[in-house]
Amino acid sequence: MKTEALISMLARGPVKADVRTTTRRVSLATTSGLLIAAAAMWSLLGPRPDLAFAIAMPMFWLKFMVPLGLAAAFFVASSRLARPGYKASGSWQAVTVMLVLLWASAAISLANVPSEQRATVVQGTTSWVCVASIAALAMPLLACVLLAMRSLAPTRPAWAGAAAGGLAGSVAALVYAVHCTEMTLLFLAVWYVLGIAVPAAIGAAVGPRLLRWA
């Protein structure tokens, strides 16, 4: 939002804000980015070859549940931080709780793995491919959400950018899970989370520049 537009709006006196406008814009941006990421995954990577068999396994669905929960929290954070003066403490707390629970569960799982096999189990066979793929798939969605935020009035641009990046990364992880053949909690806790953290860090870095008021 441009500073002159805000001053003009305030000069007209009190106006009842429709908070649904922010949610609609972030929702539209998220949907647009999701469709782009899904199309890119399907055309460039493709679904895992044993998808029909994998959907019967609980771990397959857990790979969706974790990013979905994180996406929901980041979506709320993005919607709130796109409004002037708003914070998103509850959303950040939700993200923290989910990650702590995930990492605690992964630690328990790791404790049951023989010490000589732990590094192999954590690393998997596609660790850095996972991180790079999630980050790459997140970029169109991050751009869409940041573009939507630019038309609004975030007053905490770094936090808003981080929330947008977290949302983009979480949704990208959902999309990538259709392709990924790794099926361990440890892989999810390390490499999926790292893949989500990359666009979140990028969003936090570019937020102050892209979301500042002109």
**89-110 pLDDT, tens per residue?**
999 999 999 999 999 999 999 9
Q: Which residues of the chain have pLDDT under 70?
A: 1-19, 214
**Predicted pLDDT at 55:** 93
Q: Which amino acid is at 104?
A: A
d(CA 165, CA 209): 14
Distance of CA 62 to the CA centre of its chain: 16
pTM of the predicted model over 0.95: no
CA angle 76–105–75, rounded 5-degree value: 10
d(CA 172, CA 124): 20
CA angle 153–157–163, rounded 5-degree value: 100
Q: Which amino acid is at 140?
A: P
What DSSP element (H or E) covers 68? Answer: helix 58-81
Which CA distances in Å does 190 have to 8, 15, 105, 123?
A: 48, 46, 12, 9
